[in-house]
Amino acid sequence: MNRANHLARERTAVDVVNAVILILKLEGKRFDLFKQEAWTRDDQVLTERGLALMEEAFKDVDVRQYQMNVIPDETCHRCTVSRTATNNQYTVTIPMVEDSYGSRFGTCTCGKPKKDGVPCQHMVTVVKAMAIDGLSRVKIMPYWWTTALWREQYAADEYCRTDVSLDSIKATYHPDDKLRYCPEYMVAKKGRPKTNAHKKSVADHIEESSKKKRKRRKKMFCTICHKFNHSTPECFNNPLNQQSHTSKQKEGGMEVGTAD
């Protein structure tokens, strides 16, 4: 596949500019769509997703199955909530004053509000029991599900600029003549790299050499004279070697007599 995509990778950088222009146009279209939805929405405190999460959190909670004890503090209400069937107790903390978005979303020792970002069954029990004055099911929802925050993210006087084209970029900016193509000898080799393509260190070479089996030298021993500096076929006392030596001497003498 690297070989097949080689021509595509060699194309000029103008393709990157066109891709960025396309992303800006898509982002501008998305921004205008959400801004229109945020400002044409009815004057409801929560968004559609926030309302759905609130209905799901309050759906299957029965106050008669819980016991609670509310202790007001300087800055918050501390409510101890426990289920009648079990002995587990959880502490729900509700702020005294709501934030700038109208939310009084607190915390609970069960960990669900911090993990999921929605009220847990213990916080819902405090709201349904009306143990705290002024605390409603809408105010117990976190501020990030409010319409006010949605409109603040997509302000009415903010716009995403999409009037960018390749001609305007050419007219505004000039190419950099200092940029050059990478030399061929600096380009990576084609094909899939090997798994052991990294450079080996001295420790790697020592480890490889220690793993290799060393070849044992052939030990020479003569069974006739019992010496270790030659083998039996090379021994001078071998009868076969003596016969061949005698025959060579005779042939040499005959040649000398014929020459005389």
Least confident of 155-159, 167-171, 203-207: 203-207
Checking if the pLDDT of 167 tops 90, the result is no
- Report the pLDDT value the prediction gives residue 193, as an integer from 0 to 100: 63
Q: 127 in helix, strand or coil?
A: helix
Query: What would the two tokens of residue 36 be?
Result: 């229109």
CA distance 251 to 255: 6
Q: What φ, ψ does residue 178 adopt, rounded to 5°?
A: -80, -15
**If we measure between CA atoms, which residue out of 122, 129, 139, 147 comes closest to residue 44?**
147
Taking only the tens place, the pLDDT of each residue in 57-75 is: 999 899 999 999 999 988 8
Taking only the tens place, the pLDDT of each residue in 97-143 is: 999 999 999 999 999 999 999 999 999 999 999 989 899 999 999 99
Taking only the tens place, the pLDDT of each residue in 191-221 is: 666 666 566 666 776 777 766 655 556 677 8
Taking only the tens place, the pLDDT of each residue in 140-153 is: 999 999 999 999 99
